[in-house]
Amino acid sequence: MNLREIRQNFVKLSGRLDLVNEYGYDSGADFFINSGIRLLNSLTGDNLKTNAYELDNDADECYWSTEHPDVLIHAALQRLEVSYRNTKGATDWLTTIMADLINLDKEWVEEAVADLDKMEG
């Protein structure tokens, strides 16, 4: 998904229609999406595979938006809850994100093992 598609889904799930204008352009949503990217980058550490840049233009894409858009949207929703100072909501979203990342970590390990098998075989 590109930034515009991520933005549309974020606004739909958050119910915050005020974060886009009548044409679907940014009116605050991108702040939370990019904050979500920074959160995911910090949670995954120095993994070059996942380290993503912020999105500026509607057609922009990054690792999170193309490979795991649901995780990016969850992270953006978590950052929105933080802005509300809703600790319960923020914690609930963070728990969801961590579960998402644990599942991704398992996938990455499986990919690494498969790559090693190819190299050895």
Q: What is the pTM of this model?
A: 0.86
Query: pLDDT (tens digit, 9 = 90+) per residue, 21-63?
Result: 999 999 999 999 999 999 999 998 766 566 788 999 999 999 9
Q: Where are the domains of the chain?
A: 3-120
Query: pLDDT (tens digit, 9 = 90+) per residue, 88-98?
Result: 999 999 999 99
The DSSP 8-state label assigned to residue 96 in this structure reads H
- The C-alpha atoms of residue 114 and residue 15 are separated, in whole angstroms, by 41
Residue 5, CA distances (Å) to 53, 57, 99, 105, 121 in order: 17, 11, 24, 25, 41
